[in-house]
Amino acid sequence: MKVLNGLSLTQNAIKVLEKRYLKKNEEGKIVETPHELFKRVARSVAAADLHYGKTEAEVSALESSFYEMTTSLDFLPNSPTLMSAGRRLGQLSACFVLPVDDSMESIFDAVKNAAIIHKSGGGTGFSFSRLRPNGDVVGSTKGVSSGPISFMTVFDTATEAVKQGGTRRGANMGLLRVDHPDIISFITCKDENTKLTNFNISVGLTEEFMNALSEDRQYDLLNPRTQKVTQRLKAKEVFDLIVTHAWKNGEPGIVFLDRVNESNPTPQIGLIESTNPCGEQPLLPYESCNLGSINLASHVTRDGEAQVDWQKLKDTAWKSVHFLDNVIDVNKYPLKKIEEMTKANRKIGLGVMGWADMLIQMNIPYNSGRAVELAEEVMGFIQAEGKKASSALAEERGVFENYEGSIYDGKLRVRNATVTTIAPTGTLSIISGCSSGIEPLFAVSYVRTVMEGTKLIEVNPHFEKVAKERGFWNRELMEKIAEKGTIKDFNEIPDDVKAVFVTAHDITPEDHIIMQAAFQKYVDNAVSKTVNFPHEATPKDVENVYLLAYKLGCKGLTVYRDGSREEQVLTTGKSKEKQQAADATHTQKIIPRKRPEVIKGSTRLMKTGCGNIYITINEDEKGHLFELFASMGKAGGCASSQSEALGRLISLALRSNIEPEAIISQLKGVRCHQPAWHSGGQIFSCSDAIAKALEKYHHVCDKGNGNGYKDASAIMFIGQCPECGGAVEHEGGCAVCHNCGFTKC
């Protein structure tokens, strides 16, 4: 832990802030401290009070209050607010939903608007349920429609183009109603992990479908253009297909659409048809939502037996609601329609992180009845206080514009149509040094890679404290735990400690659902959470959890079976028997391919701190990457010889059928003392330059070595971070690297 201007941050938090949040100049040099970041955010957000008659002195006091709340890490807003508040871009919302109606104009308006949103740092959700099915008549030409799946690829390609030029990944949610005629094609559209890589997909399950499932009968598919029945399907067969594909690679997720609309606060405005990319924020077309999370780990009393600090939690909830409502006013919206709809409903989403840490401090096992009771107490308290805070703002500032006809009309005057959401907190929890969202610990101890490839053992601070107090702390044990992440198999650790320090894979999938349902009882919107399954889980296990989620009142669900995407990608194009044979002979020597007499390729100049480096990449007659040469121009000495040596080793790897992505992930980001700028990006070292040249060439030829995945997003699918090569964890309905802070969403 490092203290900077009174701000206590872990080394990993500082690393993430420097890489993703702090302001940089045109040369890529950091020109802002963490202290200045929080000052910038507090000043920008507090300024909204000037619009409501507050004096400069009152706004200054509010700024100090917001600054104290965020620097103490009691609360953090979503990433776009931290990144952009008080800066030129000024787009502070994390998530948006755009309409896609059944016309070419609407479809391509949505593509254009999504690109604008992604450029501003937001994610988008779409329902494709209004589009006529594949093969249906097109009225203007009497031709044939290509259907929703075809148009999803257009959105995906546009997202990829924006992502390549931006600093924050564009993410999409694609949702299709279960009664759409193309539902089978939709369920199977991500069978290959190289397709629709910028989309999460979810099936919108209706009450009619769930009734048909329970009654083991058929249900109707409806053409959205005519509202006529096109076909009848057996609900159980469709449900089994959803379950099987979720078991295979985690997609599609499910959203209980009718349940979502039961709690739609403004039904007079329209039906909710989609959610944001991680599923926790159902939104009307053109709505955005501004999210933030209370760090529960810092709301535990320190005197005597650990308890929830209810007074502090109340104070934080009230200040957080005020903060998020202000964000709506200071936000610079990417589209006028979004600004109008957002300000008309003023939805905010106050959630939590550090839940596992709170339980650990109170010595409560995550998978216990007491933990479930406390979840309801804590979230019920935040919900109640959040509504009170919103009501107080309504008395001062007025109710939201669409209040008349809403579910609150005549019952409760509130400023915000929704107040609570539990969102993923991947990078926020790294900055705060706490556990993610309402997830269990992802590991008790793990290995983190720092500069120059140095490996550090990270140990949960609560576990370290207990281990030292109980007398079983030693470095060798921590290293062994880091290899496994869990402590359940270590006999030297007392059973009561094992019970409290459980990880995501130590508890049952049912325990995950029970916890999600407990929080959902007191959340206006929804809960983003991943239900983790062991690799050996069966499709029946997934089915049971889906049904339990429906029974317990969840609004949606994301599952991930450990290693499922690894298995799918690495065995592409091979039969099970061939894979088993390959496994059996993996100890045989690898013989590099021989070089043909003639080979083709290209040379790219890259600027480094040591001078220009010329990188030649060649491919064989089949278009597969074959070799790489690196020359430092006129330079000599160590830099030149090391570049030549790197080229030889990379060539040997390529000729031995090592996939380029594996090479790129090892070299990209390696830093030296003298970075440079090239083509609008920073080159950290000669190794980094070679990796980026290889990556650019690989994206063009896109053939790899003919036996593996094709792009950086596929690396992430198999559990490896595309930016630093670290482990990607599936949690909070998202994928996050705890090493560098990369997130899919």
**Terminal CA-CA length for the chain:** 27
Q: Are 535 and 563 in contact (CB under 8 A)?
A: yes
Please name which of 606, 148, 396, 609 lies closest in space to residue 617, comparing C-alpha atoms.
Answer: 606
Count of H helices and E strands in the chain?
26, 27
Residues 6+ apart with CB under 8 A from 241: 184, 187, 188
CB of 348 within 8 A of CB of 94? no
Tell me, rounded to whole angstroms, the distance of Cα 249 from its chain centroid: 16
Q: How far is CA 544 from the centre of its chain?
A: 25
CA distance 487 to 477: 10
E strands present in 432-563: 445-449, 455-459, 530-533, 556-561
Position 156, amino acid: D
Beta strands in 247-345 (DSSP E): 253-256, 274-275, 282-283, 288-295
Burial of 255 (0-12, 13-18, 19+ CB in 10 A): buried
Closest among 357, 483, 378, 503 to 441, alpha carbons compared: 503
Q: Which of the 8 DSSP states describes residue 364?
A: -
List the catalytic residues: 276, 278, 280
710 contact partners, CB below 8 Å, separation of at least 6: 194, 702, 703, 704
Strands 172-177, 199-205: pairing kind: parallel
What is the rounded distance in angstroms from the CA atom of residue 632 to the CA atom of residue 120?
38
* Cα separation, 732 vs 673, whole angstroms: 37
In this structure, are residues 437 and 732 in contact, taking their beta carbons and an 8 Å threshold? yes
| β-bridge partners, 605 | 614
> What is the token pair recorded at 2?
């490092």
- CA-CA distance, 618 to 600, in Å (whole number)? 5
- Report the 10 Å Cβ neighbour count for 47: 18
What is the number of other CB atoms lying within 10 angstroms of the CB of residue 488? 16
Cβ neighbourhood burial of 141 (10 Å; 0-12, 13-18, 19+): exposed
Q: Which are the contacts of 577, defined by CB distance < 8 A and separation ≥ 6?
A: none
